[in-house]
Amino acid sequence: MHGSWKQNILMAVLNRYVIVMINCILMSIIISIIIELVSLIKTPENDTKEMVEMCNGIAIIMYGYGVAMELRRDLMKYLHLLPLYATQLQEKISALCHKYGIYFILLALGLEILVHVIIIPNRVLNTEGKESYIFAICFFILLLLSILLIRLSVILVRVAYIMRIREEGSNGPKDY
């Protein structure tokens, strides 16, 4: 079950531990944005432009990451890693990536929509004075993204263990 050195490198890049590492990096970015967002919401100055840039930036990053996660299985087929590296573990990882990728896409899209509600001129949609409420919703979406990144990371680290327990017939966790 060994492919070429190029295929081995690609499999290493698509490894679940690399995904966990990327999740940790994204989580640290999101947490720093959350901290900055909270401090800017609490100040009386009009920091809307800066908050828009932060929320818009992480929304684009998470949207792209969600697409990449969702398409992991298809990417592996395109790179000729499947069926060579097809295992139950790889299938489960791809299914998890697909599921969470959709979550990331939808939440990032929600962030984008909220940011653009603020950007739209007030003569079209008057949000003057309501920006802090909209950014509070962005805060909760960012919090939810962080929780999902943590949850996915924990599941990816434990997925092989959980699958082994199920194969042995033990009463392990039933759902991810």
Give 142-166 pLDDT, tens digit per residue. Answer: 999 999 999 999 999 998 888 788 7
Q: What is the pLDDT of residue 18?
A: 94
Domain ranges of the chain: 5-11+18-168
Cα–Cα distances (Å) from 110 to 8, 18, 88, 140, 160, in that order, read: 37, 27, 33, 11, 33
Judged on CB neighbours under 10 Å (0-12, 13-18, 19+), 14 is: buried
Give 57-106 pLDDT, tens digit per residue. Answer: 999 999 999 999 999 889 888 887 877 777 888 899 999 999 999 999 99
- Picking from 109, 104, 155, 130, the residue whose alpha carbon sits closest to that of residue 51 is 130
8 A C-beta contact, residue 29 and residue 58: yes
